Chains A and B, each alone.
Chain A
Amino acid sequence: MLAYTLKRLLAGIVTVWFIATATFTAMHMVPGDPLMNDKAVSAEIRANLERKYGLDKSAPEQYVIFMKNMLSGDFGISFTQQNRQVNDIIRDHFPVSATLGIMAIFFATIGGVLWGALTALYRNRLPDIIIMFLVILGISVPSFVFAALGQLLLVNINSLFGASIIPVAGWGTFSHMLMPSMVLGLGTMALLTRLMRSSMLEIVNEDYIRTARAKGLSPSRIFFRHQLRNAILPVITVLGPQIAAITTGGFVVELVFAIPGLGRYFVQAVQQLDYTVIMGTTVFYGAFLVLMVILVDILYGFIDPRVRLS
C-alpha cells in the first residue's frame, strides 16, 4: 500500500515536470509578445522591461531559471498585475474556485447518483425518457448558455418578488454560490447520471442481486446495500478528474457571475500571454489533477475490497 502510494507519487512528479516543460515550450512558441501593449514603447524601455522579467535571456536559460524557482516554490511576479506574486494570486483565488468546485461536485454527485439510479429503476419508462433527454441537454449545451440562462432566471425571480431574493452575481455569502455551483455542476451531473444508469443496469441482472432477492431482502435494502454500492464504482473513477476539471474549468461561470476565482486568471493569462501566471496556474492545476487521480485510485481500495493496490 505504502509502496504503491510512493510509486504513484513519483510518477505524479514526473507528470507534473512534463506538464511544466510542455507548457513552457508551447507558451514560448505562441506568436505574439507578452510585453507589447496598446502604446508602443521605445527600445530603452523595452529593454528594461525585458530585463525585469528575465526575457533578455535565451529560452533555455529562462527554462533553467524557471525550474530552479519552481522547485523553491516561487513562480515570480505577474506580467499584467505587475506588483503581485503569482503565489499570492493562487493563494487568494484558488480557495474561491475550490469552494465553488466542491459545491458543484456536491450537486453533481448527489444529483447524478440519484437520477442515474432512478432512470435505471424506471428503465424505458417515462421518468427514464424525460431524465435521459435532460441529460443529453446537460452534456451538449455549453456552460456559458446555462450560466446566462441561470442568471436571467435569477433576475426574473427577483423582479417577480420585487426584491433581491438571490443575488444575480458576486461572491461572499452562501446564496451567492447556489446558482453558479449548480450551473457549474450541471455537465458533470449529466455525465454521472448516464454513467450511473448504465452501471446500475448491468448490476440489476447480476446473480448476487437475484440471490439477495431470493433471500427475501427488502427492495430498499437491496438497492442501497447491493446495487448502489456496486454501481457507484465507475462514478468514483471519473470523479477524480471531474473534481479537477470543475475546480479549474469554471472560467465562464466565474466571468458571468463575477466570481473572483482562479479560473479567470488561468484563461486570461493565456490571452494576455502573462508567462508567469500561465506557468504558475498550469503547474498548480496539473499537480492538483495528478493528485486527485492518485487519491481516487487509493480510495478505490477502500470502497471495493476486491481491488488490491499493488
Chain B
Amino acid sequence: MKYLLFLIALWSAITSAQAPVTSADFENQTISIALTQEPPQLNGMKATDQVSNFILPHIMEGLVRYDRRGRIVPGVAHRWEIDPDGMGATFWLRENALWSDGKPVTANDFVFAWRTTLAPKTASEYAFILFPIKNAEAANKGNAKLTDIGVTAVDDYTIRVELERPTAYFIKLTAFATYFPIREDFFNSRGDSYAADAQDLIFNGPFRLTEWVHSASLKMEKNETYWNKEKITLNQINAAYITEDSRARLNLFIDGKIVHTRLDGETYKDALTQKQRIRSFSTGSIFFLEYNHREGRITDNLNLRRAIQHTFDSDKFVNNVLATPGNLAAESLFPVWLQGVEDKFRKEYPAAVAVVDQELAAEYLAKAKAELGIDEFPALILLSGNTPTATKQAEYLQGLLKSRLGLDIKIDKQTFKQRLAKMTSGDFDFVLAGWGPDFDDIMTFGDLFASWNLNNRGRYSNPSYDELVRVALNNVDPKTRMDAMAKLQKIIHDDAVILPMYEQGVIYLMNSKVRGVVRRVVGPDPDYTYSRVIK
C-alpha cells in the first residue's frame, strides 16, 4: 500500500513537472495572479471590497472608464454632454457595445441597475455614491418612488440624467462599479443568486469570468463581444490562488506561479534578500489619528490636540516606524495626487505644517490643563486594529506621547468589526483611522468631517467647515471649489481636527515580462486590462 502510494506520488510529481505552468505565458498571452480574498460576490450594486472592485472593472464597463494615465475616456458611452448649469447630463451610447451573449447594451440596462441599487430593499452600502442624481437619496430612504429618480432612457442609446445639485465630478462617478449596467431580464432570471457564480453573470467588459471555484480560483478570459477587443492583448487572467498569507504569495511569486504580489513589512525583508526588484506605488489613501470630538471628551480640547500636533513628526514616523518604501509624510487631509484647478491641489494650495517644537507643545499642554482644570491627564484610550502594522503604530504613539508630553495612553486593540463598533459609538479618545478615495475628485476626502457625514466617527462639528463643503458641492467652477477646499484644509490644520500620519504606499513585486499594468488610485488596482506579456 505504501509502495503504491509512493508510486502515485512519484508519478504525479513527474506529470506536473512535464506540464510547466508559467505565470506569464507569451505564446498564449496568459497571466496568473493570486487574490488576497474571495470576492464576497460580484454584484456591482453591492460590491464594497477591494477584490470585487478589482475584478468588476475587468469584466464590466460603465458609461466611461479610466485610461492608462487615469483620464476619463469613453466606455459604453461614446459621447456625453453636461448641461451648462451643471444640473444634468446626457450620454449617447455606442451601438456596438454588446453583452457577452451578443445582445446590445442599452440605456435601460443602466437605468435598471441604478434604480435597483437605490431600492431600499437592495440595502446597498454604496448607494450613497448615486446620491448626486435627482431624488436618489429620497428614493433610497423610501421617500420617493424609484421611477422618480432622475435617470431616464430617452431611447435605447440615449440616457438623460437630472442631478440633485450641480456635481462637477458626476462624469467621473459613472466609471465606478456601482454605476455599471445590469440587464434586467438576466438579473430577474437569476433571482437571489445573481453574481454568486460565474454562470450567474453576463459581461460587457474586456474580459469574461469563465470559471469561479469558490475560495480557490477565478478565471477571466478575453471577451470576444467587447466593442474595443482590438485593444486587449491578454487572452486570460487566471486568479489561480486565493490566500491572505503574504509569505505564501511571496513563495508563489518566487516559484514563478504568479506575476504580482504585494509585500508587507516582513516579506519586504525576504524579498530584499532574494534580490527581487521591489516597486512601490502610492495608493492615494491617507492615514491619520482621529480625535474624539464629542462633548466632555478630553480630546475635545483644542490645546491638547495642538500639543500633539507639535510633537508628532510625520517624516520621522514614515522613515523610522513604517520603514518601508512608498509611504509619504502626510501634511493634510488631502493627499498629494488630488487635482486642483490646473495643477495638483497641494501644489496650488500648500498645506500649513506644524513644526515639531517641544517647548511650544509644553505650552499648549499647560493651557489645556488650565482649561480643563486638571493637574494630570487621566489615561487616554487609543483605539487600534489588531494587525501587526496597527500595533506597531499604536505603540510608537504611546511611547512618543508619554516621553514628550507625559500623557498616559492605553492601547485598546480590537478586531475589525469591534473597532468599527467602538468608533461608531464613540468609545475612544484617539483612533488610528484611514480614508481611501472612491472617485477622482477632492470631495471624496473633503466632506469626511462634515457634521452630517456618518463616517465622521469623531463627530467633529463646525458650521464653517460644513459651509465650505456646501460651496464645493454646489459649484462647478474649479476655482471656487478649490478655494473653498483650501480654506477647509486650513481649518483642519488650525483646529487640529485630525493628526495626519502618512499617505499610504504599497510595495510589490511584478514579473518583468508583464507590461502595461496600471496602478490606480481610483478604479481597479492593479489594472491588467491593457497589459501584455513580452517574450
Contacts and interface: CB of A to CB of B under 8 A. Distances in A.
Interface of A: 30-34, 36-42, 44-45, 48-49, 52, 77, 80-84, 89, 92-93, 110, 148, 151-152, 154-155, 158-159, 161, 163-171, 173-175, 178, 255-260, 264-265, 271-273
B245 A45 contact: no
Given A44-B140, A168-B255, A163 B20 contact: yes
Contact of B248 (A82, A89, A151): A151
B20 A164 contact: yes
B196 interface: yes
Contact of A83 (B41, B247, B418): B41
A66 to B, nearest CB: 20
A273 B417 contact: yes
A120 B256 CA distance: 45
A169 B9 contact: no
Given A45-B125, A81-B41, A159-B254, A170 B241 contact: yes
B22 to A, nearest CB: 9
Interface of B: 2, 8-9, 12-13, 16-17, 20-21, 34, 38, 40-41, 43, 46, 48, 120-128, 140-142, 192-196, 200, 213-216, 240-245, 247-248, 251-252, 254-257, 414-418, 420-422, 424, 453-455, 457
Given A168-B251, A255-B245, A255-B248, 5 more contacts: A37-B125, A83-B195, A174-B9, A178-B9, A258-B252
Contact of A80 (B40, B421, B454): B40
A10 to B, nearest CB: 36
Given A32-B415, A39-B125, A165 B248 contact: no
Nearest to A164: B20
A114 B493 CA distance: 70
B216 A44 contact: no
A90 to B, nearest CB: 12
Contacts of B17: 161, 163-165
Contacts of B254: 155, 159
Contacts of A81: 38, 40-41, 196, 214
Contacts of A173: 12, 16
B421 A32 contact: yes
B274 to A, nearest CB: 10
A152 B252 CA distance: 10
Contacts of B195: 83
B193 to A, nearest CB: 6
B252 A83 contact: no
Given A92-B214, A264-B215, A36 B420 contact: yes
B34 A258 contact: yes
B214 A155 contact: no
Contact of B13 (A41, A151, A168, A175): A175
